[in-house]
Amino acid sequence: MNIEELDSNWVTPATLATELGIARSTVSSWIYRKQITFCIIQAAEKRRYLVDRRTTPALKTVGRPCK
């Protein structure tokens, strides 16, 4: 995917984690399991990703289940 094809829906994993109020490791897990659309930025010194916030998996609720 070319960098020119990316729009404002593509954000860093840390930004997405902050927006959703979840841990950064959760977004990393989604990337590792290929549960979210992502692209690798080749020019970065370290491996850097951008993720598409439109493809975020559904979040599970926290707490006890309702009866």
Classify residue 49 by burial, with Cβ atoms within 10 Å: 0-12, 13-18, 19+: middle
- Domain residue limits at 50: 3-55
For every residue of 19-50, DSSP letters joined together read HHT--HHHHHHHHHTT-S-EEEETTSSS-EEE
Domain total in the chain = 1
| pLDDT, tens only, 12-58 | 999 999 999 999 999 999 999 999 999 988 877 777 889 999 999 98
At 1 the pLDDT is 59
Looking up residue 9, the CATH number of its domain turns out to be 1.10.10
7 within a domain of the structure (yes/no): yes
Question: Given pLDDT bands bounded at 50, 70 and 90, which one contains residue 62?
Answer: confident
Find the mean pLDDT for residues 61-65.
74
Rounded to 5 degrees, φ, ψ at 22 are: -120, 175
60 within a domain of the structure (yes/no): no
More confident residue, 62 or 22: 22
At 19 the pLDDT is 94
